Structure 1
Amino acid sequence: MSSPAPPLPTRERLSEVRYEIRGELARRARELEAQGRKLIKLNIGNPGSFGFRAPEHLQHAIADDMGRTDPYTHQQGLPLAREAIAGAYARRGVPDARPDRVYVGNGVSELIDLSLRALLNPGDEVLVPSPDYPLWSAATILNDGRPVYYRCRPENGFQPDPVEIESLVSPRTRAIVLINPNNPSGASYPRALLEKIVAVARRHNLLLLVDEIYDQILYDGACFQAVAPLADDHPCLTFSGLSKVHRACGWRVGWMLLSGAGERLGEFRAALDLLSALRLCANVPGQYAIDAAVNGPDTISALCAPGGRLYETRRAVIEACAASEHLQLVAPAGALYAFPAVVGAAAQGFDDHEFALELMNDEGVLVVPGSSFNVPYRHHFRVTLLPEAAVMRDVFGRIDRALARRAERVTKVVPLKARNAVA
């Protein structure tokens, strides 16, 4: 009798890739739901799962043009869609914002992978924020690069340090990633800070990779500053799309704009064009909503203002953390997330993954461990701000209850150890 065939091998570098947002904890959540448990899942910034809908004028734009969506389109995207995107960036002061510099993709995720594939040779390095959205690290690794992390410290409001960024530059460094507003911290970067980071990129001839998918989701007067106008003739790729501001995640419509002096971009543009052609084209129906999105009415600001749903949920999180002896929060200035820290007795021996599993099993709440965002500490977790404020107040009541139990266990163990030491 022949021996069983060996298992299929997989790519070795996959062992370095983490994406806990949809990883082990999410799989455990599905198991619990299959058993009849009801969970509040705060692991994904997916507006449609919380009752949000894409604006009606975007829905109508797709429906009205559905009869034209059957053929492939140009590999960079529909001409009218690219014209609309280029026009929107030109109004922001982005230099050379032209349709032939725009690439439409199946969400920003595809374009991140495509751009790093065009840029990196094996062993090249990319400077990535810590915390980061983990797709940036994963895409760097899977394209044979190495993510090198610059710290965005909680005690500094999760703002990066341009001096530290420059200290990490090596002969193999090819790019600096900026996520602004940041996921998961919600930090928004001021102009003066961005100017210093752009200067680092200039001095070392590094491509700026700027994830601005949350550019219009801002709170309490926070301002957004686009990077490309500051970079001027220096190479910069700016990423955005319909998923967050326009609440249309499932449509998978993202775009990137390549700005900078044309004479420096020829080979890179050719690489992007080749890779875009190899995937044929992006989802066509969703592209018909782009013009309506970038040139239509503002449907996000009211949600982020006092009385708006996102604002009030954010307020509920801030107030819950302020009232808790176990939590500390840098209030998010933008984006769709909060990134609280566990403090005090509950933080002793704290493991974020273990806590997330315990919280789901005992309290029916799914969060993402903070270490999933490539930070060196393990006492943070991320929640999305998409539920109603009342739901979030209930959630943080459950979280506080779980942390209180943890703190009680710790304080019982410590005196016992102290008594044993005296004996």
Structure 2
Amino acid sequence: MENGSKKWAFKGNKALEVADAISIRGVLNVLNDNLKGNDNTKTAIPLGHGDPSVFPCFQTTPIAEDAIVDAVRSAQFNCYSPAIGILPARRAIAEYLSQDLPYQLSPDDVYLTAGCNNSIEIIISVLASPSANILLPRPGYPMYESHAAFNNLEVRHFDLIPEKGWEVDLDAVEALADESTVAMVIVNPGNPCGSVFTYQHLKKIAETARKLGIFVIADEVYDHLTFGSNPFLPMGKFGSIVPVLTLGSISKRWIVPGWRLGWIVTCDPNGILQKSAGIAESIRRYCNISADPPTFIQGAIPQILEKTKDDFFAKIINLCSQAADICYDRLKEIPCITCPYKPEGSMFIMVKLNLSLLEDIDDDMDFCLKLAREESVVVLPGVAVGLKNWLRITFAIEPSALEEGLRRIKTFYNRHMKKQ
């Protein structure tokens, strides 16, 4: 350096490069940057992320909006919140979730978070230790991998089986686990698969986890967003068999991802997480050093949960069901894409690419980059969720935009199909 100054001694954290590279946001940023480089005037169609709130047909209920306004105007929620959340909100969430459980949750079982991603950050940080490992689904939601990479928590992947409705390969779970395994994650309804687990399968997961001496982290951010033959059943139903940490939020069911209100709930009637393992106390301690959701949104939660009418939920489910039908049917018309399972929940479908039918396409990431550049359609490459040469497609968008996006994918295939 000039004038004999000492070399600068600071630099960014390299671990963030790894964490960001495997995040959905990181991959979508690359694809969206590619949109800027195209020379067509087509409107961009976002089939890569799970935020339908930008479309007029997917709007939250006025009851939720009124609850926010009432909370703000009350002037009772301008203060700091307790680290784990205000009591009325925790009580309302406990009552809301208890409707689907064979036992009653307490407000003390509930920890409020700044969205479900913050819940994941907390749980992974709580479990990270030099010797521990955690079992994650493949394909799965990569925020778990990102936070595990940043916290040096070892990850071991078990497969979901597409031919069986993306059920967990429980034999693989048993083979992967050892004395240092602390927990396994399930996402139900499934992101990225659109799957909904049956009672029998959830019970087998609980029994397998108990056999291995690990607990289950149940990511249920898409709870009740189901439209197939299987209804949503919370993993907490089996809390007497194995301790369950349930992660959830109002983001998806109420179509308000930007409100950033989530929760961690101990579904553990035997008190294992509280008494013997110290997990609950560790969550509480992490909340003391973590950001909490805005107090006025917490203040609105009782009104949102208690007053939202069933017809609002039915409308959203109907929209998702119709969109899933459109997506599944149109994708079957594209020869290079195989749909092994029609989605029954959440907002996504996983489809397999047959690269042998395509010219000058190297892999799923190359497919998505060229699709964005040529057709202004953004689809998430499967490698971002753990399955190379697959695609995750979001169908929870305006029906006309969905139809147009799928039509453009077919056009893209016709342009790149291998000539006979």
TM-score of the two chains, using structure 2 as the length reference: 0.90
2:411 is aligned with 1:371: no
Count of paired positions: 405
Cα displacement string for residues 283-305 of structure 1 (whole angstroms, at most 9, x for unaligned residues): 21211232233323122223323
Matched AA of 1:265: Q
Q: Name the structure 2 match of 1:192.
A: 200
2:136 is aligned with 1:128: yes
Q: Name the structure 1 match of 2:397.
A: 387
Q: Name the structure 2 match of 1:362.
A: 374
CA distance in structure 1 between the aligned counterparts of 2:230 and 2:186, rounded to whole angstroms: 17
Counterpart among 231, 246, 249 of residue 257 in structure 2: 249
Counterpart among 23, 28, 32 of residue 26 in structure 2: 23
How much does 1:143 deviate? 2.2
Any gaps of 5 or more consecutive residues in structure 1? Answer: 413-423
Kept after mapping to 1: 8 A contact 2:181/2:214: yes
Any gaps of 5 or more consecutive residues in structure 2? Answer: none
How much does 1:333 deviate? 0.9
How much does 1:200 deviate? 1.5
CA distance in structure 2 between the aligned counterparts of 1:7 and 1:389, rounded to whole angstroms: 54
Matched AA of 1:39: A
How much does 1:6 deviate? 5.5
2:406 is aligned with 1:396: yes
Q: Name the structure 1 match of 2:416.
A: 406
How much does 1:26 deviate? 2.3
How much does 1:96 deviate? 5.1
TM-score of the two chains, using structure 1 as the length reference: 0.89
CA distance in structure 1 between the aligned counterparts of 2:65 and 2:129, rounded to whole angstroms: 41
CA distance in structure 1 between the aligned counterparts of 2:325 and 2:182, rounded to whole angstroms: 39
Matched AA of 1:397: R
Corresponding residue SS for 1:367: strand
Counterpart among 332, 335, 349 of residue 346 in structure 2: 335
Corresponding residue SS for 1:142: helix
CA distance in structure 2 between the aligned counterparts of 1:285 and 1:188, rounded to whole angstroms: 33
Kept after mapping to 1: 8 A contact 2:137/2:159: yes
Cα displacement string for residues 330-382 of structure 1 (whole angstroms, at most 9, x for unaligned residues): 2111001122222374368640111101000001101110110022xx22111
Report matched runs for 1:91-106 at 5 Å. 91-93=99-101, 95=103, 97-106=105-114
Matched AA of 2:369: L
Matched AA of 1:185: C
Identity of aligned residues (%): 23
CA distance in structure 2 between the aligned counterparts of 1:374 and 1:127, rounded to whole angstroms: 13
Corresponding residue SS for 2:168: coil
Matched AA of 2:258: G
How much does 1:148 deviate? 0.7
How much does 1:227 deviate? 0.8
Kept after mapping to 1: 8 A contact 2:34/2:369: no
Q: Name the structure 1 match of 2:287.
A: 276
Corresponding residue SS for 1:23: helix
CA distance in structure 2 between the aligned counterparts of 1:344 and 1:43, rounded to whole angstroms: 20
Kept after mapping to 2: 8 A contact 1:16/1:141: yes
How much does 1:226 deviate? 0.9
Q: Name the structure 2 match of 1:57.
A: 63
Q: CA RMSD in A?
A: 2.3
Moved more, 240-249 or 296-305: 296-305
Matched AA of 1:126: I
Q: Name the structure 1 match of 2:226.
A: 218
Counterpart among 40, 46, 57 of residue 41 in structure 1: 46
1:62–1:150 Cα change, 3 Å: same
1:169–1:263 Cα change, 3 Å: closer
How much does 1:31 deviate? 6.5
Matched AA of 2:379: V
CA distance in structure 2 between the aligned counterparts of 1:153 and 1:342, rounded to whole angstroms: 17
Corresponding residue SS for 1:76: coil
CA distance in structure 1 between the aligned counterparts of 2:81 and 2:32, rounded to whole angstroms: 39
Corresponding residue SS for 1:323: coil
1:350–1:154 Cα change, 3 Å: farther
Cα displacement string for residues 183-216 of structure 1 (whole angstroms, at most 9, x for unaligned residues): 0110111111111111121112212100011111
Q: Name the structure 2 match of 1:418.
A: none
1:281–1:360 Cα change, 3 Å: closer
How much does 1:315 deviate? 1.4
1:57–1:124 Cα change, 3 Å: same
1:9–1:396 Cα change, 3 Å: same
Kept after mapping to 2: 8 A contact 1:219/1:334: yes
2:302 is aligned with 1:300: no
CA distance in structure 1 between the aligned counterparts of 2:206 and 2:67, rounded to whole angstroms: 37
